[in-house]
Structure formats: C-alpha cells, structure tokens
A and B are shown apart, each in its own frame.
Chain A
C-alpha cells in the first residue's frame, strides 16, 4: 500500500495575529557557512573545534590571537612591539587610510603579532601572521617585527616559531617590502649560527616573498593540511604557462612530496607536536641508562659452529620476513618523529629519518627502509635510494650536527637506485657529498648494516665512527650477481662469487671494515627480534656513552683515521 497524499490535512483554526512580536530567526553570528563544503555550521562549534569545519574537516583561517590561545600555555604570552609607528616609504596614496581602517577593524597593529610564550612549559619566541591585515603581506613593519623578535631570541638563546600566512610582499611599499625578505632571512641566519632552533609553520596561504624568505628557512618546517604554499600564485602560473594546474598543486601535501615540508600537522595536535620538538631540542643526555641486561642474549646463542656458506647468508640477508629499518626504529627508540624531504626535489621513501629518543637522549635516526609488503616495497623502491634519499639523509645529519645529536643509521639496501631520474639528479654527486660531509660531521655517527649493504648506496650512510653488522648481513662493492657478470660474464655464478667476495660479517670484521658482529637467532624475523634488539640496545648505550663525551675534533680525527688506515 502506498500512502502518498492519502491523509486529510489539519484544518487549522482561524489564525490570529501572532502576539509574539519576534518570529523565529537565526540571530547574526550564530551560524556560519563553511567556505569549503558550503554546509551551515554552528559558529560556536567552529570556535571550540580549532576552527575546523565539523562537516568536511576543512580548515578556517585563524586570527593571530586565537592561534596564540591554541598553542601557547594559558597566560604565558607576552606581546612584543605591540605599537609600531606607521611608515609609508613610497608615500603611496591611500595607504595610510587603508592601514588605519584595518587597524580599527582587526584591532591589530600590523599583519604579524610577535612575543614570547611557553608551549607545554617550553619557552619560545612566537611570530604569528594574521591574514585579515592586507593578507598578511610583508611590509616594513612586518619585517621589522620579525627581525626584532628573532634578534631578541638570539640574545636570550630562545627558539623561534613563526606561523606563516601571507600573500607575499606588500605592493604599497615597493622595493622596501622586497628588502624585508633579506632582512628577515639575515636575522634568522644569525639566530641559526648560534645553534638555535627555528620552526616554521606554514598555514593557508603562504605565498610570494614570504615563501622566498623566512617561511622556508626553518630547521623544521611544518604545515597545516591542504594549506596553499608556493612562490608564484597558481593563477599567475596558469596564465603564464597557459595550462591548467593539476589538482593538489602547491598544497601542503604536494610540498611534502616534493621535499620542502617536514611534516603535516593537524591543528588539534599542533601544540603537542611543537611542545615535543621544543623539548627534544632543549634536552641532552640520557634520562636513564638501564638497559634490559636480563634479556641480553647469551654468547652461545648464535652457534659459531653453524656451517653456512656466504651465498646462504646473502639469501638470508634478502629474506622477506627479516626485520626492516623501520622495525629497528620502532623497537629501539621512543618518540620517533619522522621528517620528510630533501628540501630540493622530493621525499624519497627509500630512506626514513627523523628525531627520536634513546633512553631519553635525543638522537637523529636514519634508516634505509625496505617495505614489509609488496605494496610498501614499491612505495619505498625496495630501499634503493634516489639522490633525494641521500640528500634527505644528509640534511638530517647536518641538522643533528647543528643541535649536537648523535646520528644512528641503519643500512639495508640492494644499492643506490639505478635509473634515468637518478642520473639526471646526480646520484654520484649525492653519494660523494655524503661521504665527504659525513667524514667531518661533528657528532657521533653509528651505522648498523642490518641486511644488504649494497655498495656505494650503503657506504653513503656508513662513513661512521663505528660500523656494525648483523651476523647474516652482507656488505660488498657490488651484488654477487653483478660481480659474476662483470668478471665472468655469467650472473648465474653468483654463489661462487659470494664466496670469493668476502662480504659476510665475519669476513669484514677480519678485514677491519666493521667493529662488531651482532649474532642472530636461527630464524630471524620481526617476531623473533627481541634478543637482537636487546643486544643492540646494550651496544648502542655503550657506543653513546663512549662517543658523546668526545670533542668534535677527536671524533672527526678518529673517523678520519678509521678510513685512512684501510
């Protein structure tokens, strides 16, 4: 049975003129429309929910003082340079009136708010752009406030965080505006030279001259999801090249993919993430030195009598269920925070790196990462790094050097990626640069070969104070297959090649190429990793205790000798 239009309607009584003077209506400001999905949403929900649309999850732009509320500890913010005198370097007509009316409307002095605050107890100098003020374009005052804040941070030895959001240079101030790019960059250079931390947070939109100055100079660059970030605006690019731009072009995710942003941080987590980063840069040394000695494996665990050919070991080192780089990061370290990108071209997933804690001590961890599944392996290119991977590793190593963190590398690669693009972007140069820079890195470096140590691709992450190998890891100038095909024109003789190449851990220890061999259980998988990780934990603790007390000169001298003598 269908019921459509079958019932009689209510016979309404005669309507009186409503006595209630006010008819139902939505008062001003109660609801707003999401500019992303178009849904009507309750303004208060937006306000209480980090200015994120509860329907589509889109981000609203945030006023500077609200941003302060979101990230600074309550009552900790002390504003600097609140009153700045208006300047009009070009005597631009109507500029002063415009600024005056904006000051009144926004209750801001200029497009940036600066000051000092604490984030989860960590003191920091803050700069926060406010897009309501001429799209937070950078004129003299914006540049001046940033420079002053950074200078003061340098003086007081404080880290700096700047939330960028800008249309670029302020046209009304012409060339003076352009100079602010140089001024802010220079102030940040001095700050950095003092070994101080600068975190840049990119929000929607960060474009033009700001991108080409302070926004892109962070030791760590974070971004809000989907934020538009670029030098030239998308419309300008489209008009210039006469093409439609791909979807997602110049969004934060695009920048991560292309190596310019360390990570995307959701607004809800921003305070927590910033607090963690600040804390990791404020602390040094161990929180505890207790290692689980009880779980330490017995010497007899790895049977020295086990008869195994070099070729057997080659195959074990390539086993699919063998723990991969990310497994070691996960088991041996706490609070790992991955940082992406080489800041030149790409984020190479064959290399995973970031900061973490080892028994409380901040360290930089970098691993060549095979995948656990075929899909992951395709994404990680089977741990064959491109030049971008080596450049990312080097960037993180230099960052570690700046902040005095030891570097721990996990090596596991069939070799550096062999391909067209790799050559185009200078694979050889990238590897060479790493050898060159690593030799002089002023912090302790440890490399552990956990699987395949494939030639220069491995060495680029193994110019270290000590190099260790797992019992069944291999390390060689070339794969046995390649060796056989070059020398004997027959890659099928790989097993034979393996025997003569001296690529096993024991061989290499004998040759003085590695310092330590970590014994493995018979079936070594992610599930049976525990004894190895305990052993590594003990050994890494010893390593760090030994090397972190050395002066940079002593470290680099020893490292130089280590390779000079081979």
Chain B
C-alpha cells in the first residue's frame, strides 16, 4: 500500500497532487530545485528535499537525484505530474528496477506510445481510425493520383525529408492533384535533393478533441468523456472545455469507444488521454496518446465528479477502478483558462518576477489550481503557467459568463499575465457560438 508519495514536479500540479495525497492520508515528499525553495509545493508537502540547481536538467530532470531522494525519504511511490519526467520511459523503468511505484503506466507502454510510428501501427491494428496515407513512398503523379483517390480528397503531398512547410502541397480535388504533386516534388528536389513523397489525407480545420481514459491493472478501461482543446497558440493549449460543443451523444459514444479500444490495444494502465483530430464531417483520427495526467484534467473532474489524481494513486496501488462506464455521467459544462506569466503584447514573452499583490476569485463553481501567493517570485527557469482558473455551470453559455466574471476578478500585480487576452477570447463571437477549430487563435 502506498503510504508516502514523492512528487517529482513543481508548480500547481505538484500542489494539486499533494492535496489529493493529504486527503487520502498519504504523506508527501516534495522535491525542489535551488530556485524553488520558497515555492508553494515545497512548503505544503510534509517533507521537502532539494535535488539540485535551478536548471531543470540538473534538478527536475535529474533522475538519479530524484531516485535518491525517494529512497532517503522512505517514499514508496513517485507521482511524476506532467512535463519533466512524466513521459520518460527510462525514468519509469528506473522506478520499476528500484521497486518504486511509478504512478502512471509501465515503462514499456510509455516507450511504445512515445514512438509515433509504433503507436500508429498499434492503433491501425486495433481498428482505431488514423489519418489515411500512403504506406510506401510515391515518386510519380500517376501512382500518386491513384493513392489519393483511395485516401479521399482533400489530400496533402509531403516530402519524406520535409520540414518547415517545404515540399508540401494540398490538392482539394483530383483535377488539382497532378499540379500539386509536381510542384511539391520539384520543391522537394530543390530543397532536399530528393524526390521521395508521401500522400496523406488533409484534415481541414479540425478541432482538437481528446478523451480521458482510466484503466486499472485488472483489465477495466473506462472513458470520462472528451475535452475540446482547440484554442491553442503554437500548439500550446490556452482554453479547454468539456463537453465539446461539436459532439453529439452518438459521436461521443463512438469516439469514447474508440478511445477505450486504443487504450486496451496499448495494454494501458492508469490515467491517460487519447488525442483526436475531428473534422466538421465528424470524421476523427487518432493523433497520439498522452501517458500522464493532463494540465486540463480539472474540466473532466468537474463534469464527471471523479478525482483523477486520487484515482491514479488507487490504480497504481493495484486497486480496481471505483467506477464503471455506466457510473460516468457528464453534468453541466466546465471551462479552464490557463493563466500564464507572459505578455501577449510582446509576442507572449515570459514575464518572471515577484508578485507584489494578488487577488484570486472564488465562489460557487469557481476553482483555482495555483502555486502562487502574494510575495512569491516566479523564477525564470520553468514553464510560465501560474494558475488554472476553472469554472463549472449548468451549460456552456452560463459557464462562459461565469468565466468572464471570474477572469474579471483576477488581480496579479508585479508581473504581466495573459488574463486580459483570455478575457478577449471569452468575448469573441466565434468562441461564444462554439464555432472554433485549432486555427482559431491564428485567425483571431
């Protein structure tokens, strides 16, 4: 039985995990870098051990020191949070070798899902839809046209050695194909001295829809519905919500079943997330599986009433899931805004520094997961996320109104934040009407 957990992370997620442990009566050990002596997670845990200098590579990514800290403190499990070592199969393997419970899937599963090609093959074998594409390299337009017809238009022609958008062309229709293929190939030849091409179905204006799953060590797998994370900037999510305005109950069931199938195919255990791209015509494609707790897990917690972190610890302890699929009901609507120390007017430049004054909102249906306090100095070494503001209401419109109201109450003085920028998104007519896709921020 897990009696003491070491949290190999920092910031709000470390605090989130410590809180879950406290509620479960499990003792906690925080690890911290020299820059995080004053951090909330360091102070809140029952014990704290310094694991190295400020740069992550020497502290939060320092496997040996974290393992040593675990042994010294007498903890029997490590919760890796997200980022840092959370999806590092080698670290998970080290834990296994040292007989430390790693709160997450086993190292083999992490390794396999971390390999894009292998993960894709697993999904294809399990019948989970992936973006259709040519299996073999294509060298001429004629063969290409045949393959494109099989895949279904629109298609994108890509250079095998490609990168940075070079040697890429979209063909919307069969008529356009020959021209697109030849242009892309010529560009590829010029840029890389190679003419090997691949053809893939072109996913147009997709939404980012991900499904939360829970899997125990006894073969039970359930999904907890979806999160719509289409509001992204440079692949960084900014706002997440559940449920998605784009999913009908039928589609939810279909995608949920695919997610469960994916998790089973990967022999997955613990909490995980399956990411899909969803087209307007309701076609969806597997992208990747995240083998850890997600930043945006609170929206799922709120619409399902399930504490994901506690569930993670229970699973790691070998206990069966506390819920079956029938127990999972989506109630109301939850939205999360990430509050970052960054300046949107200066190209989102990080803004570390001391928080001189602070006020955070509260009240019914408002949740704050944060690691900041008045007088806290945000160090420049790590991710700029300060807090997550999550609201829950009866429906999407009410949730949006609640989020606006809550954002309007946030006061963080001394450093720049993206609060006003988030407020603008919440007021954008397309966001309000639910008409969003992953290009939303770009077009805003």
Interface residues of chain A, those whose CB is within 8 Å of chain B, are 1-7, 9-13, 15-16, 18-20, 22-27, 30-31, 39-42
Residues of A contacting B: mostly: loop
CA distance A30 to B100 in the complex (A): 14
Residues of B near A31 (CB, < 8 A) are 64, 67
Are A23 and B64 in contact (CB-based, < 8 A)?
no
Are A3 and B76 in contact (CB-based, < 8 A)?
no
Other-chain contact of B99, A13, A24, A41 (Cβ < 8 Å): A24
Can you list, as one digit per residue, whether each of B20-63 has a CB less than 8 Å from chain A (1) or not (0)? 01100111100000000010100110100000000000000001
Are B375 and A24 in contact (CB-based, < 8 A)?
no
CA distance A487 to B26 in the complex (A): 97
6 contacts between A and B (CB under 8 A): A10-B22, A10-B28, A12-B25, A20-B1, A24-B70, A24-B71
The 8 closest A-B pairs by CB, nearest first: A13-B25, A1-B375, A3-B43, A24-B100, A40-B64, A10-B22, A9-B46, A24-B99
Residues of B near A2 (CB, < 8 A) are 38, 375
Other-chain contact of B63, A15, A23, A42 (Cβ < 8 Å): A42
**Which single residue of chain A is at the shortest CB-CB distance from B22?**
A10
Other-chain contact of B98, A9, A27, A40 (Cβ < 8 Å): A27
CA distance A27 to B65 in the complex (A): 15
Task: Say yes or no: is B192 at the interface (Cβ < 8 Å to chain A).
Answer: no
Are B1 and A18 in contact (CB-based, < 8 A)?
yes
Residues of A near B3 (CB, < 8 A) are 12, 15, 18
Other-chain contact of A3, B40, B65, B67, B99 (Cβ < 8 Å): B40
Q: For the complex formed, measure the closest distance between the CB of B312 and the CB atoms of chain A, giving whole angstroms.
A: 18
Are A3 and B373 in contact (CB-based, < 8 A)?
yes
Residues of A near B70 (CB, < 8 A) are 24
**Which single residue of chain B is at the shortest CB-CB distance from A16?**
B1
Given A15-B3, A19-B1, is A24 in contact with B373 using a C-beta cutoff of 8 Å? Answer: no
Residues of A near B395 (CB, < 8 A) are none
Residues of A near B374 (CB, < 8 A) are 1
Residues of B near A5 (CB, < 8 A) are 43
Task: Say yes or no: is B397 at the interface (Cβ < 8 Å to chain A).
Answer: no
Are A30 and B97 in contact (CB-based, < 8 A)?
yes
**Which single residue of chain A is at the shortest CB-CB distance from B100?**
A24
Given A12-B27, A23-B76, is A6 in contact with B98 using a C-beta cutoff of 8 Å? Answer: no
CA distance A20 to B77 in the complex (A): 12
Task: Say yes or no: is B75 at the interface (Cβ < 8 Å to chain A).
Answer: yes
Residues of B near A10 (CB, < 8 A) are 21-22, 25-28, 46
Given A24-B99, A24-B100, list of 5 further CB < 8 A pairs?
A: A10-B22, A12-B26, A18-B1, A20-B76, A40-B64
Q: For the complex formed, measure the closest distance between the CB of B272 and the CB atoms of chain A, giving whole angstroms.
A: 24
Are A24 and B94 in contact (CB-based, < 8 A)?
no
Residues of B near A39 (CB, < 8 A) are 64
Are B38 and A3 in contact (CB-based, < 8 A)?
yes
CA distance A20 to B22 in the complex (A): 22
Q: For the complex formed, measure the closest distance between the CB of B94 and the CB atoms of chain A, giving whole angstroms.
A: 7
**Which single residue of chain B is at the shortest CB-CB distance from A13?**
B25
Q: For the complex formed, measure the closest distance between the CB of A395 and the CB atoms of chain B, giving whole angstroms.
A: 43
Residues of B near A1 (CB, < 8 A) are 373-375
CA distance A344 to B310 in the complex (A): 72
Other-chain contact of A25, B21, B63, B65, B98 (Cβ < 8 Å): B98
Are A26 and B67 in contact (CB-based, < 8 A)?
yes
Task: Say yes or no: is B248 at the interface (Cβ < 8 Å to chain A).
Answer: no
Are A22 and B97 in contact (CB-based, < 8 A)?
no
Q: For the complex formed, measure the closest distance between the CB of B279 and the CB atoms of chain A, giving whole angstroms.
A: 43
Are A24 and B98 in contact (CB-based, < 8 A)?
yes
CA distance A1 to B38 in the complex (A): 10
Task: Say yes or no: is B68 at the interface (Cβ < 8 Å to chain A).
Answer: yes
Q: For the complex formed, measure the closest distance between the CB of B154 and the CB atoms of chain A, giving whole angstroms.
A: 44
Q: For the complex formed, measure the closest distance between the CB of A393 and the CB atoms of chain B, giving whole angstroms.
A: 42
Are B64 and A4 in contact (CB-based, < 8 A)?
no
Interface positions, chain B 67-102, Cβ under 8 Å from A, are: 67-68, 70-71, 75-76, 94, 97-100
CA distance A566 to B1 in the complex (A): 98
CA distance A59 to B25 in the complex (A): 47
Best-buried of A1, A10, A19, A20 by chain B (most CB within 10 Å):
A10
Q: For the complex formed, measure the closest distance between the CB of B310 and the CB atoms of chain A, giving whole angstroms.
A: 14
CA distance A4 to B375 in the complex (A): 13
Residues of B near A11 (CB, < 8 A) are 25
Residues of A near B22 (CB, < 8 A) are 10
Are A7 and B43 in contact (CB-based, < 8 A)?
yes
**Which single residue of chain B is at the shortest CB-CB distance from A14?**
B25
CA distance A13 to B98 in the complex (A): 25
Other-chain contact of B68, A7, A15, A22, A40 (Cβ < 8 Å): A40
**Which single residue of chain A is at the shortest CB-CB distance from B3?**
A15
Residues of B near A15 (CB, < 8 A) are 3
CA distance A41 to B76 in the complex (A): 21
Q: For the complex formed, measure the closest distance between the CB of A41 and the CB atoms of chain B, giving whole angstroms.
A: 6
Q: For the complex formed, measure the closest distance between the CB of B419 and the CB atoms of chain A, giving whole angstroms.
A: 21
CA distance A12 to B2 in the complex (A): 12
CA distance A20 to B1 in the complex (A): 7
Q: For the complex formed, measure the closest distance between the CB of B41 and the CB atoms of chain A, giving whole angstroms.
A: 11
Are B99 and A23 in contact (CB-based, < 8 A)?
yes
CA distance A2 to B37 in the complex (A): 11
CA distance A6 to B38 in the complex (A): 12
Q: For the complex formed, measure the closest distance between the CB of B149 and the CB atoms of chain A, giving whole angstroms.
A: 45
Q: For the complex formed, measure the closest distance between the CB of B44 and the CB atoms of chain A, giving whole angstroms.
A: 5
CA distance A178 to B428 in the complex (A): 89
Residues of A near B46 (CB, < 8 A) are 9-10
Other-chain contact of A4, B25, B43, B63, B71 (Cβ < 8 Å): B43
Other-chain contact of B94, A22, A25, A30 (Cβ < 8 Å): A30
Are A30 and B98 in contact (CB-based, < 8 A)?
yes
CA distance A15 to B76 in the complex (A): 13
Q: For the complex formed, measure the closest distance between the CB of B218 and the CB atoms of chain A, giving whole angstroms.
A: 17
CA distance A42 to B62 in the complex (A): 11
Given A7-B44, A40-B64, A42-B64, is A25 in contact with B71 using a C-beta cutoff of 8 Å? Answer: yes
Q: For the complex formed, measure the closest distance between the CB of A17 and the CB atoms of chain B, giving whole angstroms.
A: 10
CA distance A48 to B16 in the complex (A): 37
CA distance A330 to B70 in the complex (A): 54
CA distance A27 to B40 in the complex (A): 33
